[in-house]
Structure 1
């Protein structure tokens, strides 16, 4: 039964990633998505937050809170992996700028592909991470659907408007399936890690990542919200690829999964709190 649930969760993650990125492309123009990339200062803050401050913060948490090596490796992999399609849903929940969240993904996904295979073996010498194994699934499930949606929106705007809402509904349903199937497939492990206290370092890293991103987001409320959520929602798909590829101990993968569930538990309430604030115009062109 556990194997069936794990397979369902894997398929749901694939459907969620493709449909969420496709829906963003169908609903926004290339100018809205790519325009903010001209802001060099904002790009630098996003890169520093995700690839310098969050990994350093995670290492600090692990220095204070000792975990077994396989579990610590899983948490480090999460800290080194940025850019996740769940950011789109979190941004929608927070009623913030979805186009800006897609911009952040366009920045963070390729950066993770380049950064993680170089840094992971230096931080975790026992790891063996391939650039190709990491890059291909991220490209096919996230960047390619976004590009397809942008193309349809630019060439055939009327069908794009019709197809966008169904794609969003499918992505929402897939997200529910991901959370339920992943939780049920790993319930005994989750309980064990709760008892051992291993869940607390994961929550600390996620909370700290949100604070770092939010503080570096600048004066604009949308930018603060998107960078806070985007920095705290780590790329679990990339971390899972590296954990299964480069580590023999299954506990490393388990820690990645548990950290993803901790992220769901923490970040959706945070997005709801942010949602209660007065909404501001979103989706502005760059």
Structure 2
């Protein structure tokens, strides 16, 4: 049963991620995303929270509790890899601008691409990090669908109008 759930999630999760980001691109203006990308104070606070405070909190937790070494490694990786497409859904549920969530996600993806290959090997000497694979995975799963959606919205507005409600339903 557990293997079935893993297989289902391995299929549905990439679909959810792609459609969520594609839908953001279909529904947001580039100018709105660029506006939030330019907020330096917010960016600094968010980057410190995600790449300093969260890993520090995880380190404190891991220092106090005996945890299986494999779980320790997984939690350390998880604490350094900021952002997720779920951020977009949380932004929507909090009644904030989706463009804010999208710009935040872009910053977190770029931060993850830079920070994880630099910091993770120093924290966990037992693993080897391929920064290019991390970057490519994030770009193809998060940035590419967002850009594709923005291009559809800009150059194919009729198709976007028909496609977007379906993308939003299936992605949710």
TM-score category by the smaller chain? over 0.9
SS at match of 1:83: coil
SS at match of 2:170: helix
Query: Which stretches in structure 1 are left out of the alignment for 5+ residues?
Result: 173-286
Number of positions where the alignment pairs a residue of Structure 1 with one of Structure 2: 172
Cα distance in structure 1, aligned partners of 2:68 and 2:10 = 26
Cα distance in structure 1, aligned partners of 2:38 and 2:88 = 21
Q: CA RMSD in A?
A: 1.4
Cα distance in structure 2, aligned partners of 1:41 and 1:93 = 24
SS at match of 1:108: helix
Can you list the C-alpha shifts for 1:74-98, whole angstroms capped at 9, x where unaligned? 1111101112111112222222221
TM-score under structure 1 normalisation? 0.57
Can you list the C-alpha shifts for 1:248-268, whole angstroms capped at 9, x where unaligned? xxxxxxxxxxxxxxxxxxxxx
Mapping for residues 171-190 of structure 1, pairs under 5 Å: 171-172=171-172
Cα distance in structure 2, aligned partners of 1:125 and 1:81 = 17
Whether contact under 8 Å (2:36, 2:99) holds in the other structure is no
Mapping for residues 1-12 of structure 1, pairs under 5 Å: 1-12=1-12
Partner of 2:152: 152
Can you list the C-alpha shifts for 1:16-64, whole angstroms capped at 9, x where unaligned? 0110000010001111112211111111111111111111111112222
Cα distance in structure 1, aligned partners of 2:42 and 2:131 = 26
> Deviation above 6 Å: which 4+ runs of structure 1?
none
Whether contact under 8 Å (1:27, 1:161) holds in the other structure is no
Matching of residue 84 in structure 1 with residue 98 in structure 2: no
Partner of 1:32: 32
Mapping for residues 251-266 of structure 1, pairs under 5 Å: none
Whether contact under 8 Å (1:20, 1:171) holds in the other structure is yes
Cα distance in structure 1, aligned partners of 2:19 and 2:164 = 9
Whether contact under 8 Å (2:14, 2:141) holds in the other structure is yes
Which one has more relative contact order, counting CA pairs under 8 Å at least 6 apart?
2
Can you list the C-alpha shifts for 1:132-174, whole angstroms capped at 9, x where unaligned? 22122211111001001111112233332332221111111xx
Query: Which stretches in structure 2 are left out of the alignment for 5+ residues?
Result: none
Partner of 1:42: 42
Mapping for residues 40-79 of structure 1, pairs under 5 Å: 40-79=40-79
